[in-house]
Amino acid sequence: MSESGAGGSAPVRIVMVAGEASGDLHGAGLVEALRRHAPALEFSGMGGARLRAAGVRLLADAGETAVVGVSELWEKRRALRAALRALRGHLAEAGPALLVCIDFPDFNLLLARTARRLGIPVCYFISPQVWAWRRGRLRTIRRLVRKMLVLFPFEETLYRAAGVDVAFVGHPLLDILASVPPREVCRRRLGVAAGATVVGLLPGSRAAEIRRHLSLLLEAAARVRAAEPGVAVLLGLGDTADRAAVEAAAARLGVPAQVVQGRTYEVLRAADFLLAVSGTVTLEAAILGTPMLITYRLGPLSAWLARRLIRVSFVGLPNLVADRSIVPELLQNDAAPGPLAATALEILRSPARQEAMRVALADVRRRLGEPGALDRAAREIVRLLPAAQHRGA
């Protein structure tokens, strides 16, 4: 281990592990916040382009490990095993002051076991969805994790009742979305005609999600336009999606959708109504106050498992945070073009329904706490480090 710093003392190292795009995004912001509180920290671990850009030395690439459902888990098993082996070896060799696990629970809880055996404390940022399924993980987390940092207030209640040391820090999206321009600015930038009714399509962030949902959303949009020909369609894609394939699918189905890549927040703000695949994008839409419906299809095996394991009344994050149904959810057999289009048209034709949903979404935003989540998380993490690192915390 190399020596650096005053008096030749060893640097204080943190290993950060994110396995998916959202974890990479929030992990990078957390690294930047930690450097504001403790500038001399060194970071290594697993993540994607954002963590790399934040100065984290990556031993494994999250782009090779992100999975949705059982089939992708099987397809990426070799990459996952290789990443776990590399990180276990790194923990043993580097002896970091802390392991910070970011979501990605099946992988991270295995790594946390290694850290505990090596005497390395574990902080978990962005909770596994223990409130939805596999509540037995609460016992594992109580045993392995020194501190849980959670984004939702109901998670704090759950963990505290289970005897886990937990802090509700709020959601980083409140800070990220604060810079999204007003609705009219976004519509102008996207070339939306003045006074047009806009339906936004959000087919998911991962390739498997897009494959499973793209035709569903496009066919639903085609039915909406058949009933309301003046509706404009914006289709929001992430940076890594295959835009040409998506545009070809829209053309094949005869939907004049404007495909917008890498500007999802502008699509969310510009739209009057959204057809959104369940995931973080639905919480982003809630924070921005855009009415929506939530849909999702799983593969047959994943759906069979979900029916037997999931123990919550809702899938969509806005409904979970609100603890009631404020956004329609059309899942599995209900995730068909006809029901999606009928629901969208019903709400688009009812200003009262839209306003009621906006009021409920504003309450969801309030429940997420105040801006500054990453700084609050950084302060909690610095308190877990050797005392010399507490300066400025």
The predicted-structure confidence for 138-174, as pLDDT tens digits, reads as follows 999 999 999 999 999 999 999 999 999 999 999 999 9
User: For the purposes of burial, counting CB atoms within 10 Å of the CB of 26, is it exposed (0-12), middle (13-18) or buried (19 or more)?
Assistant: buried
Digit-coded pLDDT (tens) for 334-374: 999 999 999 999 999 999 999 999 999 999 999 999 999 99
Task: Indicate whether 273 pLDDT > 90.
Answer: yes
Average pLDDT over residues 166-188: 97
Binning pLDDT at 50, 70 and 90, where does residue 6 land?
Answer: very low
**Report for 9-18, 72-81, 160-169, 203-212: range of highest mean pLDDT:** 160-169
Q: Has residue 211 got a pLDDT over 90?
A: yes
pLDDT digits 0-9 by tens, 131-147: 665 677 899 999 999 99
More confident residue, 306 or 141: 141
pLDDT in tens, 254-263: 999 999 999 9
CATH 1.10.10.10 for the 6-172+372-390 domain, yes or no: no
The answer to whether residue 81 scores a pLDDT higher than 70 is: yes
Mean pLDDT for 6-28 is: 85
Look up the pTM and report it.
0.87
Return the exposure string of 210-248: e unless at least 16 CB atoms fall within 10 Å of the residue's CB, then b.
Answer: bebbbbbbbbbbbbbbeeeeebbbbbbbbeebeeeebbe
Query: Is pLDDT above 70 for 297?
Result: yes
Cα–Cα distance between 113 and 140 in angstroms, integer? 9
Residue 127 has pLDDT above 50, yes or no: yes
Q: What mean pLDDT comes out for the span 209-226?
A: 96
* Distance, CA of 371 to CA of 175 (rounded, Å): 5
Residue 300 has a pLDDT of 62
Nearest to residue 212, comparing CAs of 271, 267, 257, 279?
A: 279
Q: Which amino acid is at 151?
A: L
Q: Across the chain, what does the average pLDDT equal?
A: 90
**The total number of residues written for the chain in this structure:** 393
Q: Which residue has the higher pLDDT, 88 or 333?
A: 88
* All CATH 3.40.50.2000 domain ranges in the chain, comma separated: 6-172+372-390, 177-367
Judged against a pLDDT cut of 60, whether residue 390 lies above it is answered with no
pLDDT at 134: 65
Per-residue pLDDT at 176 exceeds 90: yes
Per-residue pLDDT tens for 45-80?
A: 999 999 999 999 999 998 765 554 444 555 567 889
Dist. CA 89–CA 286, nearest whole Å: 41
Task: Give domain 177-367's CATH number out of 1.10.3720.10, 3.40.50.2000, 3.40.190.10, 3.90.180.10.
Answer: 3.40.50.2000
